[in-house]
Amino acid sequence: MSSVKQKQEVDVVIEMMEIYINSILYKRKLYPEAIFRIRKAYNIPVYVSIYSALNDYIAQTLKAAREMLRNRKIRRMEMIIFEDPDNPMESYVFNLQYLGLVMENDENMSAFEEELRQSLLSLDARMKNLNRLPESKDVKFKILLHTTESAYVRIGNDPHL
């Protein structure tokens, strides 16, 4: 696969991760509804934050994830909701196994986009059945990037990631 197609594929996956993160934050009401705006992605409505501090955190995390995905150094991304960091309330795990097949042709890309759309709808349906989170100001979230061992060492030595 050409590097242009690989970059496009990585960009699609990272965009999807951003949509997932925002969807979870919105649906689980970790932030007020007023900081989200509706937009369309993959022919379905999604909510996206307009809160700059939150967007900066997500962008920095996804910047590191993008670099690791390009280099095949990331295994999965995990979003954890918690009051006590040692006792997670919820965890959302996204396996990011690189297959390199999506951008080979338009048919693969269309199928991939449909799978993404269906997974968003599935996530939305599953979250509707969850109990409400406590209305405490102490409920927080964090995003973890699970990497290969060599990526872990590299990240520790790279101040830009």
CB distance 140 to 82 below 8 Å: yes
What pLDDT does residue 72 have? 87
- pTM (predicted TM-score): 0.85
How many whole angstroms separate alpha carbon 96 and alpha carbon 17?
10
Residues 6+ apart with CB under 8 A from 73: 147, 148, 150, 151, 154
- pLDDT at residue 66, rounded to an integer: 94
Q: What is the pLDDT along the chain (161 residues), one digit of tens a residue?
A: 457 777 888 888 899 999 999 999 999 999 999 999 999 988 889 999 999 999 999 999 999 999 999 888 999 999 999 999 899 999 999 998 765 655 566 777 788 788 888 988 899 899 998 999 988 778 999 999 999 765 544 555 665 55
Neighbours of 67 (CB within 10 A): 18
How is the chain split into domains, by residue range? 1-149
Q: Which of 36, 94, 30, 104 is nearest to 65 (CA)?
A: 94
State how far Cα 109 lies from the chain centre. 19
Domain range 1-149, CATH architecture? 2-Layer Sandwich (3.30)
pLDDT (0 to 100) of residue 140: 95
pLDDT for the residue 158: 61
CA 62/CA 66 separation, integer angstroms: 6
Joined tokens for residue 67:
């670099």
Is the C-alpha dihedral spanning 43, 49, 54, 60 positive or negative?
positive
